[in-house]
Amino acid sequence: MIESMSNGFYLVNEPALLKEVIRFLQKGFSWTTQRSSDIFDRLNSQEHKIPIGAMLVNNIPPEILKKAPLSHYQLVLENYKWFKKFTPSYFTGYNVLAFDIEFYRRMLFKSLIPDWYQTNTRGNKLHDVLPHVRAAKYINRNVIATKLNAKGNDSFKLADLSEVGNFNHGISHTSIVDCLNTIEVAKKIKEGAPEVWEASLKTAHRTDAEKIINSKKVFTAFEYFYGKSRPFVQKHIFYHVPYRWSISWDLKHHPRDYISLDRENLSKALQSSPKIIRTLKHNKNNVIMDKELGLKYEPYDKIGINEIMERSKILDENPKFINSISSILEDLAREKQESNQIEPLFEETIYAGGLNISPKDKENMMKFHDVDVKGKLGLIEKFTEERYSYFAKCLLYEEYSKKELPESLYNEMHRHFAKRLTSTNSEKWETFASFYKECDDHREKYKDDENKLKILDGYNNYVEEMEKKFLNA
């Protein structure tokens, strides 16, 4: 049985675990409002903003912000410990790779929990139902009922699938209901397109995905863009430096049309549309299937297996050409990195260094959660990386009162967040000004929905009270 949660996801293999999962879900996921930094600087893992849209979708009233039983930090610790009990497991959900997993991962990162790759390390595997239901629908139109969106494409929103498929277990966007609806979608895939379901489980870890790519060499992989899922028959040619992504040649293009190009024109061809090469990110639970599947569909059906394999052979016989492509992509990646020289915020550096946390920092992170405020203060300067010292200060500011902290530390962090929040510039993070603007935008969007407008007024009033604490910092 499959269960998913708003901040994490678990594949339950034993029905006996279901009650425990539901009990955990029913606790709810809420956050403290004792510190404005907790709301503004930490809720959204990537853009540092209050997710007004998500809160409105879930009909979260402003009152709940004042009644949260746990702080953000306490919630993260509880979440982490609970998931840890089930290692190793498949963590799964619906459309989780696009946001939820990143959100959860960054929560761990900023809370000084060194295991922020929890869902795909130590034997855990990460699975997403959404890309596979899209592929299944392409292969078998009857696998699941869909309705068309405004652009005339199949809508794969979970709420829409559950509505059309008559398996809606309650109000969408609540944790348990979305869990049960995700189970139903997974069942549809497994029953109506079992080959897709089996393929989905085989790429739930990046090393497994790499093994499949290396063994198949020529394969079909699905991509989703412009509202449609499409199969591509492709040939793996190398792993991209520095990202280690699989780079493949789209075999609807004949290599001989490009082999003789000089570097400049080859570079132009690689950046032109339609794409000659395709990228597979191994950690994205890709839909990778046998080449024969893709040969059933245009334009590959007209090319045929013999010509497809001949094109693959030509690529094998021209390593110099492959090296040229690799070199060009490496240069383009370097140029992109050099063009973005703005110093990132510490909150944005989650992938700096990858999994390489120093033993000393890892030890201090684990100590941080087990000691009192005095012990936590003593650990600030013991981290070897400045970003971890910064996160420690943020957590102390958020978790403890002014009376419990050294005056210098409290004032430092208070001024830091005040400077961020009261800025009138266009910033990476949420400011009071940008929050009010977004509120107004949503008022226009929901102008005929009295309930939404009432909720928005509550958010606005709440933030106005919060703002007073920082205006004179």
> What is the full per-residue pLDDT of the chain (473 aa) written as tens digits?
333 333 334 444 444 555 555 555 545 443 333 333 344 433 333 334 556 777 787 777 777 766 767 788 998 998 899 888 888 888 888 999 988 898 899 999 999 999 999 999 999 999 999 999 999 999 999 999 999 999 999 999 998 999 998 886 655 556 678 888 888 999 999 999 999 999 999 999 999 999 999 999 999 999 998 889 999 999 999 999 777 899 999 999 999 999 999 999 999 999 999 999 999 998 899 999 999 999 999 999 999 999 999 999 999 999 999 999 999 999 998 888 777 767 889 998 998 877 789 999 999 999 999 999 999 999 999 999 999 999 999 999 999 999 999 999 999 999 999 999 899 998 888 889 999 999 999 999 999 999 899 999 988 988 888 888 888 76
Query: H/E element holding 411?
Result: helix 407-421
- The token pair that represents 316 in the structure block: 């094998």
Residues 103 and 45 sit within 8 Å (Cβ to Cβ): yes
Q: Where are the beta strands (DSSP E) in 240-384?
A: 246-250, 277-280, 288-290
Which residues, listed in sequence order, are joined to residue 289 by a DSSP beta bridge? Answer: 220
Q: What is the distance in angstroms between the CA of the first residue and the CA of the last residue of the chain?
A: 52
Residues 360 and 366 sit within 8 Å (Cβ to Cβ): no
Q: Where are the domains of the chain?
A: 2-30+69-194, 214-339, 357-468
Q: What share of the chain is helix, strand, coil (3-state, %, to 5)?
A: 55, 10, 35
Q: Where are the beta strands (DSSP E) in 216-316?
A: 218-225, 228-239, 246-250, 277-280, 288-290
- In angstroms, rounded to a whole number, what is the distance separating the alpha carbons of residues 388 and 358? 11
The DSSP 8-state label assigned to residue 62 in this structure reads: G
CATH class of this structure's domain 214-339: alpha beta
Residues 397 and 35 sit within 8 Å (Cβ to Cβ): yes
Which residues, in sequence order, are CB contacts of 420 under 8 Å at separation 6+?
40, 41, 427, 429, 431
CATH class of this structure's domain 2-30+69-194: alpha beta
Residue type, 469: K
Would you tell me how many other CB atoms lie within 10 Å of the CB of residue 23?
9
Would you tell me how many other CB atoms lie within 10 Å of the CB of residue 147?
12
- The token pair that represents 469 in the structure block: 């604490």
- How long, in residues, is the chain? 473
- In angstroms, rounded to a whole number, what is the distance separating the alpha carbons of residues 237 and 218? 10
